[in-house]
Amino acid sequence: MICKNPIYTQNEMQQSEAILSEKLVVAAAANKFHHCFTKSDDDGFLRCEGVKVQDVIDSVDKRPFYLYNKPQITETSTRITRRDRLRWIIGYAIKANNNLKILEHLRQLGCGALLVSGNELRLAL
């Protein structure tokens, strides 16, 4: 979930909304998103940052497993929080994924946490 920091006056919000609506078409064309997962045209394998996902699968003992890309999380967070110079705060829903390493990284990036239980609060801190 993404929420705006509620520190704007009504006039500032209206101006921001107008700026956003004017820039959406231009930004969509100029602001190409780099995704870490790609399919190789040479061999047809799925790759993450150039590494064959199949090689990762073959190297882990436990299955199923999750494959995360820290630079991708950082890039996505940075793009959201710097978008159109508004003061955005990402509120990450801990219930969606309580992986401690990801939560620590999101906290370092300045993200907030959405939580509903004491255990989620402990994870967020």
Separation between Cα atoms, residue 88 and residue 86, nearest integer Å: 6
Q: What is the pLDDT of residues 21-42, one digit of tens each?
A: 444 334 444 555 567 788 877 8
Contact 4, 87 (CB under 8 A): yes
Output the pLDDT for position 31: 55
Q: What is the pLDDT of residues 73-117, one digit of tens each?
A: 998 888 888 776 667 788 888 888 888 899 999 999 988 888 888
Separation between Cα atoms, residue 116 and residue 7, nearest integer Å: 25
pLDDT over 50 at 7, yes or no: no
Per the structure block, which two tokens stand in for 72? 């991708």
